[in-house]
């Protein structure tokens, strides 16, 4: 039975998209998988390469505009749906079950189960958390080239002291989530 794991990255930041990944592990499994937040950047990058080489995977993104329009929870669900759609389209497969990190599920056509802390419990979700985090981090590093004041190469869009100071000095960019309170408050000034 093909089981896909799904996780997202980027629900909390003030800037950038939310990214989800879906992964079906290779039949022989993989060693060293863990919640992406518990791995070093080097180990995450190594595992990302191995997952992409050996496993079936897909990525889905919900834009800042979508986050502001439908809210971060719904945008996360949209990104997850897009990730599973991408997995199915790329590998001509349809998972029998989708395991999702968290306590909520998107409304979709696949059988699914939400698992709180699933990124630490289920290897396929751990793999998805690694792919999602690495993909989003790369997007934020690219965005930092166009908007260097905000430190996105370091903070990935989270509301660090430096990021908040840059927001006050330079104002929000098109990549800032205007529906998030710290950004919305600056826009109203």
Q: Over 90: is that where the pLDDT of 5 sits?
A: yes
Q: Which residues contact 51 (CB under 8 A, 6 or more apart)?
A: 23, 30, 57, 127, 130, 131
Residue 187's pLDDT band, with cuts at 50, 70 and 90, is: low
The pLDDT confidence band at residue 159, using thresholds 50, 70 and 90, is: very high
Region of residue 105 (phi > 0: left; psi between -120 and 50: alpha; otherwise: beta): beta
**CA nearest neighbour of 175 among 66, 60, 21:** 66
CA angle 120, 101, 69 (to 5 degrees): 140
- Per-residue model confidence (pLDDT) at position 169: 94
Give the 3-state secondary structure of residue 46: helix
pLDDT band at 36 (very low <50, low <70, confident <90, very high): confident
Contact yes or no for 85/60 (Cβ under 8 A): yes
CB-based contact 59:41 (threshold 8 Å): no
Q: Which residues neighbour 43 within 8 Å (Cβ) at sequence distance 6 or greater? A: 32
**CA nearest to 79, candidates 4, 22, 12, 5:** 22
Per-residue pLDDT of 11-23, as tens digits, reads 999 999 999 999 9
The answer to whether the pTM exceeds 0.85 is yes
Residue 22's DSSP bridge partners are: 6, 58
For the chain, list the domains and their CATH numbers. Answer: 3-188 (3.30.420.10)
pLDDT(173) > 60: yes
User: What is the mean predicted confidence (pLDDT) over 25-30?
Assistant: 91
- Per-residue model confidence as pLDDT tens digits over 88-127: 999 998 999 999 999 999 999 999 999 999 999 999 999 9
pLDDT of residue 186: 77
pLDDT tier for residue 1 given thresholds of 50, 70 and 90: confident
Confidence bin at 188 (pLDDT 50/70/90): low
Give every CB contact of residue 20 below 8 A, 6+ residues apart in sequence: 6, 7, 8, 9, 59, 60, 61, 62, 76, 79, 80, 82, 83, 128, 132
Q: What is the mean pLDDT of the chain?
A: 95
- Check pLDDT > 60 for residue 136: yes
What length is written for the chain? 189
- Tokens 């089981």 locate to 3
């Amino acid at each position: 039975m093909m089981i896909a794991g799904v996780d997202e990255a980027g629900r909390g930041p003030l800037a950038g998209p939310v990214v989800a990944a879906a992964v079906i592990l290779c039949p022989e499994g993989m060693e060293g998988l863990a919640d992406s937040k518990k791995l070093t950047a080097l180990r995450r990058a190594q595992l990302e390469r191995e997952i992409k080489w050996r496993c079936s995977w897909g990525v889905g993104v919900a834009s800042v505009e979508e986050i502001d329009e439908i809210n971060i929870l719904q945008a996360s669900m949209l990104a997850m749906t897009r990730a599973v759609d991408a997995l199915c389209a790329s590998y001509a497969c349809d998972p029998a079950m989708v395991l999702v990190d968290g306590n909520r599920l998107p409304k979709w056509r696949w059988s699914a189960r939400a698992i709180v802390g699933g990124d630490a419990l289920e290897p396929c979700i751990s793999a998805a958390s690694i792919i999602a985090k690495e993909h989003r981090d790369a997007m934020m590093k690219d965005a930092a080239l166009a908007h260097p004041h905000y430190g996105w190469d370091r903070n990935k869009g989270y509301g660090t002291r430096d990021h908040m100071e840059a927001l006050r000095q330079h104002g929000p960019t098109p990549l800032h989530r205007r529906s998030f309170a710290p950004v919305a408050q600056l826009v109203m000034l």
